[in-house]
Amino acid sequence: MKRFSIKTPALHWQIVIAIILAVTCGIFFPIHASYTAWIGKIFLSALKMVVMPLIAASIIAGVAGMDGGKGLGRLSAKTFAYYIGTSLLAILTGLMLANIFQPGKGLNLTVADSTMPVQSINSLSDTLYSIFPSNIFEAFSSGNLLGVIVFSLLFGYCITQIDSSRQKLLSNFFMAVSDTMMKLTQIILAFTPVGVFALVYSATAAQTHVGQLASGIGKYFMVVIFALSVHAVIWLPALLYSIGKISPLRHLAIMRNALLTAFSTSSSNAALPVTLSSLELKGGISARVCNFTLPLGATINMNGTALYECVAALFIAQAYGIELSIFQQIIVVFTALLASVGAAGIPMAGLVTMTIILSAVGLPAGGIALILAVDRPLDMIRTTINVYGDSVGCAIIAKSEGENPSGLT
Ligand code: ASP
């Protein structure tokens, strides 16, 4: 079926300028951030507005066009293998660098210093329960992306099982809805520089604890950024080049607007419409692969969050002078994987699911208060890596499915 194609205007320079201006304003005029904050909120709401209908329609149309759901099992297996493999790679990178640089060593905190009560939540079981929502309309309205994905996959599959004339009707209908939502995304995208300016201005102005960067928190901050850079600049491009035979620079050029949106919104979900349109319309990857891998990736594949959680857990242990055995570090690795799967694609979700790791290895939950001050900038960066990881996976899987995406070759 023929999909429409739209030329996305080259927005990246406007977005980069908006970010630089916003950081400058945030540092020099923090109290005026409230004047523009509303623009950021509207931009974010507009992006969120398209996420649910876009995802549902795209997945349904994608699976319904798969001829009896053929190839879905193979696609799922590859996608999950990629997600688990790259998340573990990210975590091990964080683990290694946190052990080498020991950012928390010398802070000498005692458990009595840990005063912040952190609500004990079980995000992983919440994630499991959300897979089959009891009310699909509630799942749509509450932003339960995983529930909507699973429902849409099943719905799309069942379309392939009904009478062929009706099958065609529904399949065309959802394809048209998906194209319409993509068109809407393109329109919202035109406002990205203004929205990004307002969001980054507020985020910079709210960062009042910059002074702490000089102490141990500063070292922790640098180690997280260094580890994230190793993952984003070495491992992911290497995978893209060696397995996908795709030029990382070309891929980056296609993805720049989506990455800048992820950076400024700190939300994989909010960036999802941009990621989808970048890889499908500009990259030329099939709707089938994009619609299957990207929504799932935004929800459960978070390389940046997994790495950050591992470094943060080790930092907290070091700050409290708690020696973690090899066995405990292995537990950190696996719980960081689970915590990143459990984290939703929204701002600060990773900080909340940290409690899973801390309680698994008996670290004080109040340690989260330590890293709170620098969470926002780290969230912006780890979300960018999360989205980058999803996009690399999508491109590699498309190649392995025999595709030759026009924008990436
Ligand atoms: N903000 C991240 C995301 O949306 C999740 C996190 O807090 O790590 O991808």
Task: State residue 58's pLDDT score.
Answer: 82
Q: Ligand 1 in contact with 346 (CB < 6 A)?
A: yes
Burial class from Cβ neighbours inside 10 Å (0-12, 13-18, 19+) for residue 137 reads exposed
Ligand 1 atom closest to residue 309's alpha carbon, by position in its atom list: 8
* Per-residue tokens: 382: 């780890």
Which of 266, 275, 372, when mutated, tests ligand 1's pocket best, judged by the most ligand atoms within 8 Å of its CB? 266
pLDDT of 8 over the 70 cut:
no
Distance of CA 223 to CAs 109, 226, 231, 296, Å? 20, 5, 12, 29
pLDDT tens for 111-141 read 655 444 444 444 556 667 778 889 999 988 8
Top-confidence residue, 387 or 49: 387
Helix, strand counts (H, E) of the chain:
18, 0
* Angstrom distance (rounded) from CA 32 to CA 37: 9
How many Cβ atoms from other residues are within 10 Å of residue 75's Cβ?
20
Q: Ligand 1 in contact with 375 (CB < 6 A)?
A: no
What the chain holds in terms of domains, given with CATH numbers, is 11-400 (1.10.3860.10)
* Per-residue tokens: 82: 């990629």
Q: Ligand 1 in contact with 302 (CB < 6 A)?
A: yes
Task: State residue 360's pLDDT score.
Answer: 85
Ligand 1 atom closest to residue 386's alpha carbon, by position in its atom list: 9
CA of 323 to the centre of ligand 1 (A): 28
Confidence of residue 242 (pLDDT cuts 50, 70, 90): very high
Q: Which ranges of 207-344 would DSSP assign to H, the alpha helix? A: 216-229, 236-242, 248-265, 268-277, 287-300, 303-319, 326-342
pLDDT of 214 over the 60 cut:
no
Task: State residue 125's pLDDT score.
Answer: 67
* pTM for the structure as a whole: 0.81
Q: What angle do CA 384, 387, 393 make, to 5 degrees?
A: 140
Confidence of residue 14 (pLDDT cuts 50, 70, 90): confident
- Residue minimizing CA distance to atom 1 of ligand 1: 347
> Is 1 within 8 Å of 65 (Cβ atoms)?
yes
Q: What percent of the chain has pLDDT over 70?
A: 90
Ligand 1 atom closest to residue 382's alpha carbon, by position in its atom list: 8
Say what the alpha-carbon torsion angle 228, 231, 233, 238 is, to the nearest 10 degrees.
Answer: -170
CA of 302 to the centre of ligand 1 (A): 8
Average pLDDT, the chain: 86
pLDDT tens for 358-378 read 888 888 877 887 787 788 889
CA of 141 to the centre of ligand 1 (A): 20
Q: Ligand 1 in contact with 343 (CB < 6 A)?
A: yes
pLDDT of 209 over the 70 cut:
no
pLDDT tens for 291-317 read 889 998 998 899 999 999 999 999 999
How confident is the model over 215-232, as a mean pLDDT?
Answer: 92
CA of 84 to the centre of ligand 1 (A): 17
Task: State residue 112's pLDDT score.
Answer: 54
Task: State residue 288's pLDDT score.
Answer: 87
Top-confidence residue, 133 or 399: 399
* Angstrom distance (rounded) from CA 376 to CA 337: 21
Top-confidence residue, 71 or 178: 178
